[in-house]
Structure 1
Amino acid sequence: MPRKRTDMDADIALDGKSGMEVDPEVAGGSLEASNTADNDKTACVDNPTNDPYAYLGRGDFTSEKFKIEVRGLPKFYGIGEFKKLINEKLKLGSNKVKPPRRGSYWAYVCFRSEEDRQKALTALNGFMWKSKKLSASIAQPAPDPWVKKRKQEEGKGNLPSKKISISKEDQRPQEERLKDSTIPLWNIPYDDQMKGKQEKMRELLRKLGHDMLKHNPALRGWLEEQKNKNDDLPCQLGDIRSAGVCEGYRNKCEFSVGMNEETGTRTVGFRLGSYVDGFVGVAPVDCLLHVPQRMKDVARVFEKLVRASNWNVFHPVTQEGVWRQLTVRLAAGTGDLMLVVGVNSRSLTSEQSDNLKSEVRDFFSSGEGAACGVTSLYFQNIIKRQAGGEMPPLEHLSGNTHITEVLLGLKFRISPEAFFQTNTAAAEVLYKTIEELAALDERTALLDLYCGTGSIGLTLAKKCGQVLGLEISEKAVADAKLNTVANNITNAEFYQGRMEDIVTCLINRVGEKEVLAVVDPPRAGLHFRAVHHLRNALNLHKLIFVSCEPKAAMENLLQLCRPASKTYKGAPFVPIRAVPVDLFPHTAHCELVVYLERLHS
């Protein structure tokens, strides 16, 4: 399955991150940019439905149909423990678990079928967990967040019959609001952006030092010594680093296809706000500094195809319409260009769907789109779901099955679903920083965990004795293996699987070499079992943690520094040095690279 990492738009807030319970693929959530900016003037859109539960009857998979509420939970427990109870001990196979608000004694659990839900109700009712008797009951599905938001704004029980007002407050030009929602630092000098991010990382590390003492009081002496040396920080903090490329740096963007509520035209661009906050309109991206001009040109050309088509654009509320999304991947080093055209083919016959594929293929091969120079073209139905809620595979239409990027002198094959850093120039700075902190030699075995297409491990392979990479995405691992051969690297191997399941086996393959792990997890951080395995790998003494969301990473860093116990048998890891790297200019996001070592004394 694809890696669950929001790498495609790390500098843009995504639908589905707002905590709503409705499955975002069903209730209108987009894989593309969305923010909380208000729409221009008093723009109006058609009111497709006033039933907040209409999405349940559309036939698409949504786990909201099979949700239960579990009550009687103990006062103190971890959500990871609860998930382990549900899925490992009781083997109920939940689709997702929605954690409760702090201090609540209930939680929602969703399943893939009515049969699974009934099985869970039977197993959980009366089950004793941590001396508490649990109870379970069928839960009401969550309402469609867009319809719910509209009703709240109207202050009535029902929506207006034909039109609804998007906003009466924000009268700024659409262009300005789009920049504020996607690149909020666009009007701040870049030097000042860097200073702000440096200070933000300093504050996070200062808080980390404070919390470390709470989690492990035995570190007091060590922490006091470190703070005296490092200006009240638990480790040395280096100056923030940047590639110096501030414009057009993204190598991947996902453009939504929808209606521009300012002009009333079909548009390929970014949303002005999230679905859960009541926004469905799309604005053009010509004003955005971080999107390369070639991507903007592709969006405008594809927009011509959409506008000339007899098929309507997708509407996230009614789930009607065909044209939905365009994913663009651009390799600056080779000029390769990959497109994935995403559609909703719910209302299309097989013949119509085939004709649409031919239309897209012809447009980019011999039509007006040929000027874009597409080297890899894919087609995807991003509405219909297979059993279990998984999206169907991409369909290759023309060109190569992949694109090739050049990074630090190496060539990397990138498949459409594989993770690759979204800022290639800054990724080189990031990997050089990792190399500097790692201090590798031929005696070192490097574990590249969450390796994607193998870019970190392969760029460092010549500096160490052995590289072992691990990634959950089967296609990404296939790319990593091919990248190994293409770059004539003989000391690197890559494996597919969940880190929390097989990292111990991987570490045991190292032998007598000194082990150093580089962990580059998804934004949410490491699974608690993964932290457990890292702590218990007694021959692992050095660790580099790469975080695209440093604030979220603090919890993992605290887990790594906890005192030895039955759960964490190895000595704690403590931070020695940290370096921020700016991969996303004009946004508030910043990567943080932290080098940790075991503290044995």
Structure 2
Amino acid sequence: MRKKNVVLENVPVTGYAAEGKALARVDGKVIFIEGGVVPGDVVDVRLGKNKKDWAEGKAIRTHTLSPDRVEPFCEHFGLCGGCKWQMLPYSMQLQYKQQQVEDHLRRIGHLELPPLPPILGADKTQRYRNKLEFTFSNKAYLTDEEIRAAGEEWPRRNALGFHIPRLFDKVLDIRTCHLQEEPANLIKNTIREWAEANDASFYDIRRQEGWLRNLVLRICTTGEVMVNLVIHHEDETARTALLDHLLATVPGITTLLYTINPKKNDSIFDLEPQVYFGKGFVEERLEDFMFKIGPKSFFQTNTYQGEALYRVARDFAGLTGSETVYDLYCGTGSIGIFVSRQAGKVVGIELIPEAIADAKENAAANGVTNASFFAGDVIDICDDAFFAAHGAPDVIITDPPRAGMHEKLTAKLLEVAAPRIVYVSCNPATQARDLALLSEKYTVEKVQAVDMFPHTHHIENVVLLQRKHR
């Protein structure tokens, strides 16, 4: 079974493992399966990695379809890298996500857990993202059927859509995406049609040439719409013609920007977007708080579930109006501002200076006077002098990136020993690792998973840690 090019036949799929991979067992060996399979399917699997106790592979043939399957709603399902769980009923998606959270906390963190309440599912399972980024490419991904159907005449080369997983230079042309409200598809299709009609060049990532690079859309629950067109180099005549055409064709755009990016990577955080139309930012609402979002701002991608997530964090914090709350990885201050009315003082810390500037502006715009925000690494900032100046924390809220917290930060939190820590995570595996380190002084009091991204395997999880009695 450990030989190369092994195909396992008639494998019953029994569940899901981490990262949305399906799970099966053959002769006691664990098989992780990619390829859009569902528990209850019976498939043939071609193995890739093949170790003694486990293997990874891809489903290449389906013999029996699970009775739990549902029809995917998107024409791009199976090719696009997003929404990979469309074929799974939403209730079952939630079930497997809940199971994954518990498995990670128990198996990686070796933690004693209280009874876990059900995961908070989303009321809105389509068109829930407020931000999407599309890529222009002169190397459209084509299926075998499309190539055969084209015959001697080579089919379209340009694409505006999403990268095909594991193919960095191939982009799937997306006409209709179900992740974002309109006018998202109208904007995207209008730009593509203008570009094709006017022979505008789509970017070639291998040669590092071409004019149109990326398209970033923000569509807020407030109705405000931000468009940021990223181009490789300035062409004022073409740029003005395209942006004017877009404004004339698509009603409702409140802010239109363009960014010139001649670099080899797609990041725009070290670039300066230029305002072409509108105020240069959009405003989004969480409860009755308003947040200014610029073209480089971080904000929870699902506003609806972001609000639910923040309510959980605020509830877990157990605030009575007098506590000093430290908001680590505070970004643009959204969590700190969200809990500010229940706190005595909020101290936000974030590495990125631009985000801190936004946090201060958001606090002022919402009349929040008990919050202060500081730029820098929390390990460097939080010394004895800082605590003497701003007060020792009664509650720490930490919301790190997917990689989790640096080991030095967990050591710092153990040193600070605040009575309560609320750990918000977008990766329960790294969260479990960090909680294991913090278990030296803390116990897990509450756990609440929140589904921010329906039809994907991604999960947000909030944990309340209580300091042990000394």
Pair 241,182 (structure 1): closer, same or farther in 2 beyond 3 Å: same
Aligned to 1:297: 186
Distance 1:424 1:397, change over 3 A: same
For the Cα contact (< 8 Å) 1:523–1:549, is it kept in 2? Answer: yes
Aligned-partner Cα distance in 1 for 2:35–2:95: 26
Match of 2:463 in 1: 594
Q: Call closer, same or farther: CA 1:330–1:552 in 2, change over 3 Å.
A: same
Cα displacement string for residues 479-531 of structure 1 (whole angstroms, at most 9, x for unaligned residues):
2112112111211111222222213455443337x520110111111122222
1:15-67: CA deviation from partner (whole Å, max 9, x where unpaired):
xxxxxxxxxxxxxxxxxxxxx989xxxxxxxxxxxxxxxxxxxxxxxxxxxxx
Secondary structure of the 2:209 match is coil
- Contact kept, 8 Å, 1:338 with 1:374, in 2: the verdict is yes
**Aligned-partner Cα distance in 2 for 1:307–1:37:** 33
1:314 maps to which of 184, 203, 206: 203
Map of 2:381 onto structure 1: 502
Distance 1:359 1:490 in 2: 45
Residues 327 and 341, structure 1, Cα contact 8 Å, conserved in 2: yes
Q: Tell me the CA shift for residue 257 of structure 1.
A: 1.1
Q: Secondary structure of 1:530's match?
A: helix
SS of 2:256's equivalent in the other structure is strand
Higher relative contact order (CA 8 A, sep 6+): 1
1:411-452: per-residue Cα shift (whole Å, max 9, x none)? 110111111000000011101111111110122111111112
- Cα deviation code 1:284-330 (max 9, x no counterpart): 151x4323232122211121222123331111112221111101111
CA–CA distance in 1 between the matches of 2:386 and 2:450? Answer: 29
Q: Which has the higher strand share?
A: 2
Partner SS for 2:382: helix
Partner of 1:326: 215
Partner of 1:338: 226
Contact persistence 1:208–1:234 (CA under 8 A): no
| 1:551-577 CA distance string (max 9 Å, x none) | 122222222224xxxxxxxxx223221
1:463 aligns with 2:332: no
What percentage of aligned pairs have identical amino acids? 28
Unaligned 5+ runs, structure 2: 1-18, 21-33, 37-59, 62-71, 143-154
* The structure with more helix, counted as a fraction of residues: 1
Q: 2:261·2:271 contact (CA, 8 Å) conserved in 1?
A: yes
Whole-angstrom distance in 2 between the partners of 1:499 and 1:323 = 38
Amino acid at match of 1:417: K
Offset from partner CA, 1:364-408 (integer Å, 9 cap, x none): 33x33xx2422222222333279xx98433223221121100111
Q: Residue 24 of structure 2 corresponds to which residue in structure 1?
A: none
Separation (CA, whole Å) in 1 of partners of 2:269 and 2:451: 34
How many residues in Structure 1 have an aligned counterpart in Structure 2? Answer: 389
Structure 1 187/337 Cα, relative in aligned 2: closer, same or farther at 3 Å? same
Q: Tell me the residue number matched to 1:251.
A: 130
The one-letter code of the counterpart of 1:396 is V
Answer yes or no: is the 8 Å Cα contact 2:281–2:295 preserved in 1.
Answer: yes
Match of 1:273 among 154, 165, 186: 165
What letter matches 1:341 in structure 2? Answer: L
Aligned in 2, Cα 1:595/1:285: closer, same or farther, shift over 3 Å?
farther
Contact 1:418 1:473 in 2 (8 A): no
User: How far off is 1:239 after superposition?
Assistant: 1.6
1:548 correspondence with 2:426 = yes
In structure 2, what is the Cα distance between the partners aligned to 1:372 and 1:382? 27
Aligned residue runs from structure 1 range 467-546, under 5 A: 467-504=346-383, 506-511=386-391, 515-538=394-417, 540-546=418-424
1:594 deviation in Å? 0.8
Report the Cα offset of residue 265 of structure 1: 4.9
Q: Provide the rounded CA distance (Å) in 2 between the counterparts of 1:300 and 1:477.
A: 35
Q: Partner of 1:176 in structure 2?
A: 77
Question: Distance in 1 between the 2:75 and 2:120 partners?
Answer: 33
Contact 2:122-2:454 within 8 A present in 1 as well: no
CA distance in 2 between partners of 1:592 and 1:356 (Å): 46
> Which secondary structure does the structure 1 equivalent of 2:78 belong to?
helix
Deviation of the 1:546 alpha carbon: 0.6
Q: What is the one-letter code of the residue matched to 2:271?
A: P
> Unaligned 5+ residue runs, structure 1?
1-11, 14-35, 39-168, 213-232, 346-351, 563-571
d(CA) in 1 for partners of 2:188, 2:291: 25
**Is 1:199 paired with 2:91?**
no
